[in-house]
């Protein structure tokens, strides 16, 4: 049986996440985002982020089946289903927020 994280550890994790958000919000260009994320993430983590974002965009376009999206994005069917669930059902709606904002920029 593992012990639950202490309230202090939970607060530190929340503070660290907020500090990360502030760091991301301070970036002013694609080049700065690329430099920061390249330092922060492993190449595999960046590929996973990019893959999920590609899946989200393809799902939003509603032009392909889940299987076709998996092939196009080079993602697993599990990833496609997970992203679809977050896109449709989850409370945060982060994918939807960004997809809609990018549509209004075009």
pLDDT digits (tens, 9 = 90+) for 79-95: 999 999 999 988 889 99
Both structure tokens of 1: 């049986």
Pairwise CA distance, residues 39 & 22, whole Å: 16
Predicted TM-score (pTM) of the model is 0.83
Both structure tokens of 11: 């607060």
Both structure tokens of 71: 């092939």
Q: Does position 6 have pLDDT exceeding 90, yes or no?
A: no
95 Cβ contact list (under 8 Å, min separation 6)? 56, 60, 83, 86, 87
């Amino acid at each position: 049986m593992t012990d639950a994280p202490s309230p202090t550890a939970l607060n530190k994790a929340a503070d660290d996440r907020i500090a990360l958000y502030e760091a991301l919000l301070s970036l002013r260009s694609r080049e700065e985002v690329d430099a920061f994320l390249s330092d922060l993430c492993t190449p595999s983590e960046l590929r996973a982020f990019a893959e999920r974002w590609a899946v989200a965009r393809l799902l939003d376009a509603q032009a392909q089946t889940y299987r076709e999206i998996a092939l196009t994005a080079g993602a697993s069917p599990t990833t496609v289903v997970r992203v679809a669930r977050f896109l449709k059902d989850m409370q945060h709606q982060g994918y939807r927020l960004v997809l809609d904002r990018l549509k209004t920029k075009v």
